[in-house]
Structure 1
């Protein structure tokens, strides 16, 4: 978050196709073993998949009670039994790109059991993901937060997506974030990521329908989630969302960038 307030308008870039895969590490081995395997051997399998524009691993803090401000009617405390350990974020180069990587994806399926106990995939409609250019010249990302929103029962996808886009545009224009990405997911379908020997249970009342990803420096991130401005925006969000789970991100590692696998990940 910039030290000075930069109120301005930022245009969003729409991406061809983005998938978000929440992950839970196995509990029969040390958590660090899972972290190391994910960003080591497993990342090499995923990075070799053709058709990617970008592949990132978003590592979430082990203790994540929830950063989002308490809001009447909105679940902001993250339940311990469903707390996510990390998210694989894949951006494809084109809508047809997933067809190019089917062979490599099968290898990823087989390897999941070595590190994860539960995974599932959220996918959005083509060109529904938006990346906002919110960083000023020379500004770097110092801390990250990831937010999953659950669409309230009875709210249709269209009004929900419209409100999310308005919320993102408001946040982008306030000059408080270094990076902002949004997705609106299609209804969850287990068959999209039905990997063997790994749990895929995702009850209807636990499913999410959008993710809002914002980045700032550590002190600014804390101030952002304590701010009266966000509390006001959250109250306006309540008619559309029944849950807002904001995670503390410990690492965001990029393994594929601009369509090319990197020799070593970038933060």
Structure 2
């Protein structure tokens, strides 16, 4: 792996973001609710005031886990908890969630048309970090979405510190074309308690951070997860994380960009 990027190029931009983990309805073919999500449901969400960005991360239907086997860490994604997609929302300010309450109520009512379970994870303002790792003109051709569970007995502050260190190491490889991180506040169901949709989230299944990694193409993604560098990073992560679920993303669709709802999503 190349380490040609300078420190100036990998300084992160801090953001206020949330992620909604989504499981689509299972009483119809998977492509039906996935299509409804990027169609009618996206229009409701995109009209919400206060968004800086709104992306849908669609995950592949088959996702056993990309992260290398690591002793003492759950890297195989349990089939019964396998996520179908994630709504990634970045706010313009700390007050933005209050501005969008009216539209959020419409989203609450529509969820049952597409999802069977939804879980909101929210980070404090400025806790999400976007790293400028791509050279000008480079594009993302493949992505991985990674969720991490803090190991019992590890302090939240130490876990967050290690996620920052991990991100810095990942940014310095020169391989990534996109790198975003989120660390989460303790999960509270009442923050996203939508009607007629499940919100079960046992304590031993909750997550505490996420990473989005972008690559030039699927071959670069596959090579990355088989590299000795990621194996070394995983060994260093093991004392802090009890689970690392790395999903293959099939699509990343942007509906709101730079505070403006787009007429058609961008890939």
Q: TM-score range by the shorter chain?
A: over 0.9
State the partner residue of 1:231: 231
Q: Deviations over 1:18-51 (max 9, x none)?
A: 0100000000011111111000000000000000
1: distance between equivalents of 2:208 and 2:67?
17
- Give ranges in structure 2 of 5+ residues lacking alignment: none
* Conserved 8 A contact 2:2-2:173: no
* Conserved 8 A contact 1:118-1:198: yes
Q: Deviations over 1:66-116 (max 9, x none)?
A: 000000000000000000000000000000011000000000000000000
The correspondence of residues 113-128 of structure 1 with structure 2, limited to 5 A, is 113-128=112-127
1: distance between equivalents of 2:248 and 2:59?
6
Q: Name the SS for the 1:90 alignment partner.
A: strand
Q: Deviations over 1:161-207 (max 9, x none)?
A: 11010010011011010000000000100001000000000000100
Instruction: Tell me by how many angstroms 1:8 deviates.
Output: 2.9
* Conserved 8 A contact 2:21-2:120: yes
1: distance between equivalents of 2:213 and 2:117?
25
Instruction: Tell me by how many angstroms 1:5 deviates.
Output: 5.0
Q: Name the SS for the 1:105 alignment partner.
A: helix
Instruction: Tell me by how many angstroms 1:6 deviates.
Output: 2.4
1:47 matches 2:7:
no
* Conserved 8 A contact 1:54-1:91: yes
The correspondence of residues 1-267 of structure 1 with structure 2, limited to 5 A, is 6-9=4-7, 10-15=10-15, 17-216=16-215, 217-267=217-267
1: distance between equivalents of 2:137 and 2:202?
43
1: distance between equivalents of 2:28 and 2:20?
21
Q: Normalising to structure 2: TM-score of the pair?
A: 0.97
Q: Normalising to structure 1: TM-score of the pair?
A: 0.97
- Give ranges in structure 1 of 5+ residues lacking alignment: none
* Conserved 8 A contact 1:8-1:174: no
1: distance between equivalents of 2:94 and 2:2?
39
